[in-house]
Amino acid sequence: MNETKTQELFQVVEGMRPQIIEFLQRLIQIPSENPPGNYNEICDFLKQGLTELGFEVQVISVPDEMTHAAGLTTPRKNVVATLRGSGGGRNLIFNSHLDTVPAGDPEQWEYPPFSGAIADGRIYGRGATDSKGRLTSYIMSAVAVARSTISRKGDVIIAATCDEETGGILGAGYLNQNGHVHGDMVIVEGYSNHIVRAMAGVLQLQIVTDGIPAHAGYKWKGLNAVEKMAKVVQGLAQLQEELEREPSSIPGMKYTTVNVGTIRGGTKVNVVPATCEIEVDFRVIPEHSLDQIYNRVLSILQSLEQKDPTFKAKLIRITDFQTEPTITDESSPLIYELQEAVQEVTGRTLPVVGILAQSDTRWFIRNGIPGINFGPGTSENNIHGFNESMEIEDLIQTTKILAVLTKNIVS
């Protein structure tokens, strides 16, 4: 009986193929670059489209005072759409974000970035994979189950959220913190060639060294802040070597990384620089905490102060975007059920890994909702680059997988 239902879903998804492709094309054709974050048109499109597909749709606007406090000049909106079951079953959430990174120079694209052009079995455009392709697959997998003869007890909830590319605070964060989304489990944007159960923590630090300005011809009268910072950078390089010897036990996560991302110092080439500043990004494996890494950096600075009485530095934690590592236990029933769905469709299972990145999964986990990352596309699809694309067969196959998962959870 289960095999019969699965075959029925395959047929339904294949019958929806033109609609699935067209839906993704239409999403791509609505620019939603962040910054600045223009969500009105895409939210209006989803409200109408999802209502026509049978969902109960809410467009939830973030209060103006919150957007103004965040220094944002455009409204923030999220879409929550629910496909109701008869009741008494498990409720499944699919979360994907509405915003994309900027398209960049359109002359560098083989096809216009907001065209949704089709060539060589792929759909091209900004957001084709990240994350409008995933949103399309999530929506259409739920619709496929609704169009089948399969009865549904649980609800399927689509949470299409803003601002993931800039931290998700007013997107998935706002929905979860204010009780706008409820469910037993969540699938969040991911790739089709593996299941992600763990994501790195993010710690970002600003380090400032102080010096004394002087004419370069009288350097001994000053104190060179850039040269002091060179010692800090060397210490951070040594810290990276230490961390490489402390690898994660989770496949794909490697080790905690240290990246000196920016450096600023001095005012003019013939002036001894009075200050130097760097910003450092750490991707933190689950075996470490943000505080542990912070304290290891602090100890580097303290050691430099002890060795050099003229060394002075400030360590500042950048709090706009920081999060502890996010992890779902490898024995989670959600992983098992997704693997079952993958097996039903493809005859194989997928690697279960961690990655040194973050997503909106953390907001749901903090809200007590178990979550993993999976969806159509792979890291080879030029995500965030020119000529971003989605392979059509990957989109269709992943929609079949997610339709089977939906059937197994909500029926």
Condensed to tens digits (0 to 9), the pLDDT of residues 346-379 reads 999 999 999 999 999 999 999 999 999 999 999 9
pLDDT average, residue stretch 281-307 = 98
Condensed to tens digits (0 to 9), the pLDDT of residues 11-42 reads 999 999 999 999 999 999 999 999 999 999 99
CA pair distance 279, 265, nearest whole angstrom: 12
What is the predicted pLDDT for the residue at 10?
97
Within 8 A by CB and 6+ apart from 397, the residues are 192, 345, 346, 376
What is the predicted pLDDT for the residue at 2?
77
Name residue 62's amino acid.
Answer: V
Condensed to tens digits (0 to 9), the pLDDT of residues 185-215 reads 999 999 999 999 999 999 999 999 999 999 9
Burial class for 68, CB neighbours closer than 10 Å (0-12, 13-18, 19+): exposed
Condensed to tens digits (0 to 9), the pLDDT of residues 225-275 reads 999 999 999 999 999 999 999 999 999 999 999 999 999 999 999 999 999
| Per-residue pLDDT band at 321 (split at 50, 70, 90) | confident
What domains can be seen in the chain, in order of their start residue? 2-199+325-410 (3.40.630.10), 201-323 (3.30.70.360)
Six-digit token string for 104:
């960049």
CA pair distance 72, 63, nearest whole angstrom: 12
Give the chain's mean pLDDT: 97
Name residue 402's amino acid.
Answer: L
Condensed to tens digits (0 to 9), the pLDDT of residues 112-170 reads 999 999 999 999 999 999 999 999 999 999 999 999 999 999 999 999 999 999 999 99
pTM: 0.93
The SS3 of residue 305 is helix
Task: Return the residue matching tokens 């103006």.
Answer: 64
